Structure 1
């Protein structure tokens, strides 16, 4: 009997440890939520893909500085009357032909268009990297705000449940007095109405909590269930040491959004320089190497001499004698493919100068378009800075007001707790009416709700100000 008992005890211990491990794994801190969101967020992935495209564009601009080398080769068959590429004579036969070539070109000077394009691509690549960090920072802030909203909603649910529990306890007491016909029936019915109000408050608070959890799940891009009780906030808040202007100055140096807009502005300035290069002549070097092959090409070799009678004659003493001539004999044979390619080699080297005289005002229009893009980038940077300054000022004011209100509401809750304790005692003794009891209870409950909302408003604004100062959200 001991062995089964030990086995059962061991199984129970393993089961308990498993449950504890699951609970530990289910716990989510703010850092955990941020990490999950950054791994699975679409806006971050989109920014990363844009950065990859800009990096490829930069490589392409850098490689454009290299010389261009191209090779071409063709082989074909021609029937009927055609030109022999070996002799440039007309032939009427099946002709096999082939051409091969190698060309090299290099830009020597084009108004620094290639260099400015390279610098522009480098700036765009750096801006895209900043935009990835901007997307990450924005997602971190969004998750932080949503996380705190869930915690706030969770606390409001707990307060609503506490209110309901207090009302239920009083209702049980009044129900017993009502059954004994020793209490005031109107107090009992007043508490019944208050019970419904408290139940509705739980329903509304629970609905707000569920919506806050759905918002957090959306930001984390997960379908897994998130329990509000498993969210843990590990942080310590300190008073802000800087003013709103001081925080704004730090934000200008730390926020990726500002750096990205500044880099985009620099890139558009380079774009103007690239467009202006269309006014300047372009100087290039070129070289070509070509050869060809023709099946009609023949090589004639001397095979000897032969006397051939001509139509001419000479008369000697009245006798005609035929005239013979010595003719060299030749034998033709085809020239091999490789020999023709080697024998027909020709090369060309030169300098090319392209001078823009008139191109339908294309260069002028391109310069103007790039200047418009530069103005847009300037507006975007100024707009971002202006919005940032306003957001920081509002966040700082909200933080300062929340800090002040939090201290005042703490005093209010303490006062209402004492008032409620007195009214509850008087109500239990039958001295106070249900109206006085419910009024005192509602004042205390509303004060606690306001205190909770103010507390999380303070935490939220404090996190926002930490974010603007470039501090890691934790």
Structure 2
């Protein structure tokens, strides 16, 4: 058991030395890596790029279509011909050859403005994809903060357990000295040894959890899960956020509100696109054709060649399509009304979230101050307990309780620190300024 304790402490300090040599991954660095390499973010960026291509001129319908065609026909026949004077003739190998080529351009001159509104819709779809990309990045950043601070918290637990091990080791040494001078019992030494071993086991378990959480963070960053790094446990808080500022900003900037407003705009374009189907369409075409044929002697013309330009203009008007277009217009108007309701609901839900989140933020500020005071008190209490224990004025059980109280206070303070930071970040997201 004693050898196990010594080995674990050596491994512990070896781990600390290794961490010192590792590059520190700050939360800002982690965000930059995630935005660049996270798998979901990369897919979202690809979807945005597809939408960007679709809104271009080549997909607008404003360009003409041009086609080229050509062909060759060959016939080798036996022809029996009766002329008007009653004479007959048979021709073997009556060969007919024909060639043709054409270039045709077609253009929609007017389509009831459907093309115009579709082009606008493609542009607004691109804006929608950008908003959705922003939403996914925000969610990824929120997950990143949560995971990062879980790693940082677990690191502080391992550090607090190391302090526990040191204090337990000091208690064991004091107990051994008392036993040596006849001031203690063997039972006290065994109890101290048991507590030290339990602390070592707790550290081994906590360090295992710490390494697992680091791998989870690497996965979220979209990089090798075994990548080595040191975590930064420092937390910098912003100046106290104001509830009214968060509330106003959420209405204008929160991604849910922005998405709802964008969907309203797209619904309005759908109405215009459907209404455009009531109008006529005018198409123009131009082509250059060339045809040549070589005929057998039985034909009226042995050789025939034609070429030239053909121009065309056509108008089509779907006067009545069975009510399909009218139905689409009516349903698109109802969809537009639903989008208004969704916007109102989103804004009301945001208000509720802001009020709740700000209440949580205020509570966690109080909790952090209280836990900080608790740490100060427990440090002072443990310091005095150590002195009293060394003088034999208190029992080992009282010493252990003071040690546990200090350990819990340190962990609770670390937890309160990261909880407050997450609450602060949550308010920034609700305000729509997280990525700013």
Instruction: Identify the TM-score tier after normalising by the shorter chain.
Output: 0.7 to 0.9
Q: 1:438-457 counterparts in 2 under 5 A?
A: 438-457=400-419
Shift of 1:81: 8.5
CA distance in 2, matches of 1:246, 1:45: 33
Specify whether residues 374 and 60 from structure 1 end up closer, same or farther in structure 2 by C-alpha distance, changes over 3 A only.
farther
Structure 2: 5+ residue stretches without partners: 1-18, 80-90
SS in structure 1 at match of 2:305: helix
The answer (yes or no) to whether the contact 2:215–2:225 under 8 Å persists in 1 is: no
The answer (yes or no) to whether the contact 1:131–1:257 under 8 Å persists in 2 is: no
Matched, 1:407 2:369: yes
Matched, 1:340 2:305: yes
Q: Counterpart of 2:425? A: 463
Shift of 1:348: 4.1
CA distance in 2, matches of 1:387, 1:207: 40
Superimposed CA distance per residue, residues 149-200 of structure 1 (whole angstroms, 9 cap, x where no aligned partner): 2212111110111011101110122134335543134433333342243224
Structure 1: 5+ residue stretches without partners: 1-21, 83-90, 301-331
Matched, 1:44 2:41: yes
Q: Counterpart of 1:274? A: 273
Q: Counterpart of 1:73? A: 70
Specify whether residues 231 and 260 from structure 1 end up closer, same or farther in structure 2 by C-alpha distance, changes over 3 A only.
same
Calculate the aligned-residue CA RMSD, in Å.
3.5
CA distance in 1, matches of 2:146, 2:47: 27
The answer (yes or no) to whether the contact 1:265–1:378 under 8 Å persists in 2 is: yes
TM-score (norm 2): 0.80
The answer (yes or no) to whether the contact 1:286–1:352 under 8 Å persists in 2 is: no
Q: 1:413-428 counterparts in 2 under 5 A?
A: 413-428=375-390
SS in structure 2 at match of 1:340: strand
Shift of 1:352: 1.9
Superimposed CA distance per residue, residues 249-295 of structure 1 (whole angstroms, 9 cap, x where no aligned partner): 21343345543443233123212321233333323334444342111
CA distance in 2, matches of 1:175, 1:248: 62
The answer (yes or no) to whether the contact 1:116–1:270 under 8 Å persists in 2 is: yes
CA distance in 1, matches of 2:21, 2:377: 39
Count of residue pairs brought into register by the alignment? 407
Q: Counterpart of 2:359? A: 397
SS in structure 1 at match of 2:99: strand
CA distance in 2, matches of 1:46, 1:375: 32
SS in structure 2 at match of 1:111: coil
TM-score (norm 1): 0.74
Q: 1:256-405 counterparts in 2 under 5 A?
A: 256=255, 258-296=257-295, 335=303, 340-342=305-307, 345=308, 347-358=310-321, 361-364=323-326, 366-367=328-329, 370=332, 374=336, 381=343, 385=347, 388-405=350-367
SS in structure 2 at match of 1:222: coil
CA distance in 2, matches of 1:181, 1:30: 54
Specify whether residues 421 and 114 from structure 1 end up closer, same or farther in structure 2 by C-alpha distance, changes over 3 A only.
same
Specify whether residues 385 and 204 from structure 1 end up closer, same or farther in structure 2 by C-alpha distance, changes over 3 A only.
farther
Q: Counterpart of 1:107? A: 108
The answer (yes or no) to whether the contact 1:287–1:347 under 8 Å persists in 2 is: yes
CA distance in 1, matches of 2:46, 2:58: 19
Q: Counterpart of 2:53? A: 56
The answer (yes or no) to whether the contact 1:108–1:285 under 8 Å persists in 2 is: yes
Question: Which of residues 391, 394, 398 in structure 2 aligns to 1:429?
Answer: 391
CA distance in 1, matches of 2:152, 2:118: 51
